[in-house]
């Protein structure tokens, strides 16, 4: 729910200029050449502040600070003290929850209820979770009869570059930063240029929590020929963790190859949502509304390819269209709003281009496809349902990353599995059925990093998370994150 306090905060942030500086070696600093770029509020299309634009010089300074910090108090800090610092970061995020939620909604255009109920609490929990994991996590030990014993020692990688997307800025940045710090590394973060504000605040939160200067650094900027490429090419950066679009991932991979950096990628998705006729349609509709349109469909896990078994197809469409029409598109700080603004003009035009392409490909728009009346300022788009397309159409095959879904009927398991797997992506999938054997059978044959059965976005942070094919490299979560952010040394002692 919207609160008077959040409304007041929002009005304050929207009415004043909010500037974002780099954070290097414990201090906020401008770019050496004074360069900046505008930060746009996507809900209004207006400038809300300026952002320092960094490049190679700022990245060099940040990496040097991080490299020095590796040998400083962060290295000598006891594990228990580091756990307490990491937990404290989560506590401070919760103490500033309302402020951070407002900043996130101003920066992204998402509804304030979403920022306040999911983005910020989960950001805090990421630190709490990995602090607890560090306390309980162990390493391997093997005894070779009575000859020798082997045991593993976990060590930090060094300086790690974290490159973040714009759709869930604080949530996904903390998802990387928490395990990276837990493993003892130092960090240079590059937030998405479209959403710099909460990351900028996070740097101060880390310092207030007791993180030594130089351990956490931020350089704002762009990708090619800017802060992003400087970070991925830097010889003193040991690893890059990137969440974002697949094409950018390929560019980063090529750049990182020069220094053989360790890579973790969570990339794009074109996720299937498979609905069998024996499932509970009311339950399916309630969750599918979320998996289609939450966060304006700007979530890599959204189920944008919906496949419905033919006996349930017409009934599903009737209910799905009706519920979609009830979604209120509007001001992120209006309590009635369920769908806010898309991230910016370029992305807005891209998503609208796919809707026009769907018409050219023979698709029919059952609802949506337009900007709501009265919302000419900002980048708003009605939730859109498209039918009449087959699996060869670009609208079905390519990631749109907006409030746009296609619905396609199917007749057999074999048919829908073939369609679900006929993609370059393999991030997630959902399967809806009350047949237990079918649930196991179908879920096990889908090429995706995570498959939900009769649910969506239900996450246990201990489990592996990541994509197959062009949806990513590696896995995050629990021990998988700690393994990525650390080196293991095996020590063999002859008895």
Q: Tell me, what's the pLDDT at 376?
A: 87
DSSP-assigned beta bridge partners for residue 493: 149
Mean pLDDT over the full length of the chain: 96
Is 266 noted as a catalytic residue in this protein?
yes
What is 4-267+470-492's CATH number?
A: 3.40.605.10
DSSP 145: T
Q: Tell me, what's the pLDDT at 151?
A: 96
Q: Is the pLDDT of residue 333 over 50?
A: yes
pLDDT digits (tens, 9 = 90+) for 238-261: 999 999 999 999 999 999 999 999
pLDDT band at 138 (very low <50, low <70, confident <90, very high): confident
Q: Is the pLDDT of residue 307 over 50?
A: yes
User: Residue 213: how many CA atoms within 13 Å on its side-chain side?
Assistant: 7
DSSP-assigned beta bridge partners for residue 243: 266
CB 255 within 8 A of CB 227: no
pLDDT band at 167 (very low <50, low <70, confident <90, very high): very high
The burial class, CB within 10 Å (0-12 / 13-18 / 19+), for 476 is: buried
Q: Tell me, what's the pLDDT at 15?
A: 56
Could you tell me the two tokens for 274? 């498979």
* Mean of pLDDT values over 212-216: 98
Tell me the percentage of the chain whose pLDDT exceeds 90: 95
* Mean of pLDDT values over 362-388: 96
Q: Tell me, what's the pLDDT at 3?
A: 38
- Distance CA(150)–CA(456), nearest Å, equals 42
Sketch the domain layout of the chain as residue ranges: 4-267+470-492, 272-463
Q: Is the pLDDT of residue 85 over 90?
A: yes
Q: Residue 247 contacts by C-beta under 8 Å, 6 or more apart in sequence?
A: none
DSSP 465: B
Q: Is the pLDDT of residue 343 over 50?
A: yes
pLDDT band at 16 (very low <50, low <70, confident <90, very high): low
Which helix or strand (DSSP H or E) is residue 3 part of? none
* Mean of pLDDT values over 460-467: 97
pLDDT band at 438 (very low <50, low <70, confident <90, very high): very high
Q: Is the pLDDT of residue 384 over 90?
A: yes
Tell me the percentage of the chain whose pLDDT exceeds 70: 97
The phi-psi region of residue 385 (left if phi > 0; otherwise alpha if psi is between -120 and 50; otherwise beta) is beta
Secondary structure tally for the chain: helices H, strands E: 18, 20
Question: Which of the residues 266, 309, 382, 399 is marked catalytic?
Answer: 266
Could you tell me the two tokens for 349? 């035009």
Q: Is the pLDDT of residue 81 over 90?
A: yes
Q: Tell me, what's the pLDDT at 137?
A: 85
Q: Which residue has tokens 């490159």?
A: 163
Q: Which residue has tokens 């603004």?
A: 341
pLDDT band at 18 (very low <50, low <70, confident <90, very high): confident
Q: Parallel, antiparallel, or unpaired for β 450-453 and 148-156?
A: unpaired
pLDDT digits (tens, 9 = 90+) for 171-194: 999 999 999 999 999 999 999 999
Could you tell me the two tokens for 332? 């992120």
The percent helix, strand, coil of the chain (3-state, each to 5) is 45, 20, 35
* Mean of pLDDT values over 283-305: 98
Q: Is the pLDDT of residue 2 over 90?
A: no
B/e letters for 376-395, b = 16+ CB within 10 Å, e = fewer, are eebbbbbbbbbbbbeeebeb
DSSP-assigned beta bridge partners for residue 162: 189, 241
DSSP-assigned beta bridge partners for residue 23: 28, 218
Q: Residue 437 contacts by C-beta under 8 Å, 6 or more apart in sequence?
A: none
Q: Is the pLDDT of residue 219 over 80?
A: yes
Write out the CATH class of domain 272-463: alpha beta
Q: Tell me, what's the pLDDT at 324?
A: 98
Q: Tell me, what's the pLDDT at 1?
A: 25
- Distance CA(141)–CA(148), nearest Å, equals 11
pLDDT band at 383 (very low <50, low <70, confident <90, very high): very high
Q: Residue 95 contacts by C-beta under 8 Å, 6 or more apart in sequence?
A: none
- Distance CA(421)–CA(426), nearest Å, equals 8
CB 383 within 8 A of CB 324: yes
pLDDT digits (tens, 9 = 90+) for 405-435: 999 999 999 999 999 999 999 999 999 999 9
pLDDT digits (tens, 9 = 90+) for 473-495: 999 999 999 999 999 999 999 99
Q: Which of 444, 295, 329, 340 is nearest to 41 (CA)?
A: 340
- How many C-beta neighbours within 10 Å does residue 463 have? 12
Could you tell me the two tokens for 381? 């788009």
- Distance CA(234)–CA(218), nearest Å, equals 15
Beta strands in 157-275 (DSSP E): 159-163, 186-190, 216-218, 237-243, 262-266, 272-275
Higher-confidence residue of 407 and 14: namely 407
- How many C-beta neighbours within 10 Å does residue 72 have? 14
- Distance CA(292)–CA(354), nearest Å, equals 16
CB 364 within 8 A of CB 386: yes
What pTM, to 2 d.p., does this model score?
0.95
Q: Which of 414, 389, 214 is nearest to 306 (CA)?
A: 389
- How many C-beta neighbours within 10 Å does residue 16 have? 9
Q: Tell me, what's the pLDDT at 97?
A: 98
């Amino acid at each position: 729910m919207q609160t008077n306090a959040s409304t007041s905060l929002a009005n304050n942030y929207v009415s004043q200029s909010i500037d974002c500086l780099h954070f290097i070696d414990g201090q906020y600093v401008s770019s050496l050449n004074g360069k900046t770029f505008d930060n746009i509020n996507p809900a209004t299309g207006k400038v809300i502040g300026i952002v320092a634009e960094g490049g190679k010089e700022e990245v060099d300074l940040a990496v040097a600070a991080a490299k020095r910090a590796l040998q400083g108090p962060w290295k000598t800090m006891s594990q228990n003290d580091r756990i307490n610092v990491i937990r404290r970061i989560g506590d401070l995020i919760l103490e500033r929850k309302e402020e951070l939620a407002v900043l996130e909604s101003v920066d992204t255009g998402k509804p304030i209820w979403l920022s306040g109920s999911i983005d910020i609490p989960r950001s805090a929990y990421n630190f709490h979770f990995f602090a607890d994991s560090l306390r309980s996590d162990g390493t391997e030990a093997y005894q070779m009869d009575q000859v020798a014993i082997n045991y593993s020692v976990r060590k930090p990688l060094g300086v790690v570059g974290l490159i973040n997307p714009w759709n869930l800025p604080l949530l996904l940045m903390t998802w990387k930063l928490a395990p990276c710090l837990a493993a003892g590394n130092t960090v240079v973060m590059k937030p998405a240029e479209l959403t710099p504000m909460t990351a900028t605040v996070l740097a101060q939160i880390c310092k207030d929590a007791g993180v030594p200067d130089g351990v956490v650094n931020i350089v704002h900027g762009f990708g090619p020929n800017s802060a992003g490429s400087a970070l991925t090419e830097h010889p003193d950066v040991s690893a890059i963790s990137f969440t974002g679009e697949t094409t950018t991932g390929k560019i980063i991979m090529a750049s990182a190859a020069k220094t053989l950096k360790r890579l973790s990628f969570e990339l794009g998705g074109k996720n299937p949502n498979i609905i069998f006729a024996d499932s509970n349609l009311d339950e399916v509709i309630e969750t599918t509304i979320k998996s289609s349109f939450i966060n304006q469909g700007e979530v890599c896990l959204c189920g944008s390819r919906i496949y419905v078994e033919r006996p349930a197809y017409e009934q599903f469409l009737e209910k799905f269209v009706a519920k979609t029409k009830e979604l209120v598109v509007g001001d992120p700080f209006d309590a009635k709003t369920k769908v806010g603004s898309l991230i910016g003009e370029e992305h807005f035009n891209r998503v609208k281009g796919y809707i026009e392409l769907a018409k050219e490909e023979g698709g029919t728009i059952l609802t949506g496809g337009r900007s709501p009346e009265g919302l000419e300022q900002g980048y708003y788009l009605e939730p859109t349902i498209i039918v009449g397309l087959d699996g060869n159409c670009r609208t079905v095959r390519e990631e749109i990353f907006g409030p746009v879904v296609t619905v396609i009927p199917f007749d057999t398991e074999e048919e829908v599995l073939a369609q679900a797997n006929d993609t370059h992506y393999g991030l997630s999938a959902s399967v809806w059925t009350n047949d237990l054997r079918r649930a196991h059978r179908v879920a096990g044959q889908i090429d995706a990093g995570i498959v939900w059965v009769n649910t969506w976005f239900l996450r246990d942070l201990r489990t592996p998370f990541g994509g197959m094919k062009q949806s990513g490299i590696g896995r995050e979560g629990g021990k998988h994150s700690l393994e990525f952010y650390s080196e293991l040394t095996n020590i063999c002692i002859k008895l």
